[in-house]
Amino acid sequence: MFTGIVEAVGEVVEATPKSGDLSLRIRTGKLDLADVALGDSIATNGVCLTVVDLPGDGFRADVSRESLSLTTIGQWRPGQCVNLEKALLPTTRLGGHIVSGHVDGFGEVVSRQADARSERFRLRAPEQLAHYIAHKGSITVDGTSLTVNRVEGAEFELNIVPHTLAETIMGEYKPGTQVNLEVDVLARYLERLLQGGGKTEPQGMTAEFLAEHGFK
């Protein structure tokens, strides 16, 4: 699990096809790897990757075909910058929100414009993910925990402060940039509860139940 608070910006060193999937080597920059061991997880642009080698200046990870189909990893090339975050500890401050590192799909930057010292971004999500995105709710974009400022159909807006622009790869975004998206896991569990856990008839929590108790 992760918080969506990016710890460092790294760089793709190698992206090598290997027997149908991909082997990645990431240079981790200022990310402290002293407490990282083989088998640990590092979120890389929001994708939970398992460390299979520690060559000294970073780590290597294998990427499955499933991950390649749902994320932007297949587009990564040597020299590309990526957001990095180590898995959280029980003592970690939860400064963002609960992030699994399991990307739901990729979206696209539609527009970018200055808004005082901040930048306002408009992104488009896949239609099947749009209903999970809520005004003032949380969303993870390339591993960064962000607050949604506005929603219109499958498009949503983000206001990004200077610190986030400087400490993540968002400063490089432009219209057409594709990004990894992970919706708030709480929205997914709530949907499952409303569906009755797969039963024919909803059981327990329903839309009517929530409305009766003030959740409208």
Which pLDDT band holds residue 179 (cuts at 50, 70, 90)? very high
Report the 10 Å Cβ neighbour count for 83.
24
* pLDDT tens digits, one per residue of 105-152: 999 999 999 999 999 999 999 999 999 999 999 999 999 999 999 999
CATH number of 105-190: 2.40.30.20
User: Domain 8-86 adopts which CATH fold?
Assistant: Elongation Factor Tu (Ef-tu); domain 3 (2.40.30)
Cα 51–55–57 angle (5° rounding)? 100
Would you list the domain boundaries of the chain?
8-86, 105-190
Euclidean distance between CA atoms 127 and 155, whole angstroms: 9
This prediction has a pTM of 0.86
- Poorest-pLDDT segment among 53-67, 131-145, 184-198: 184-198
String of b and e for 185-198 (b: at least 16 CB within 10 Å)?
Answer: bebeeeeebeeeee
- Which pLDDT tens digit goes with each residue over 82-91? 999 999 887 7
Q: Is 187 helix (H, G, I), strand (E, B) or coil?
A: helix
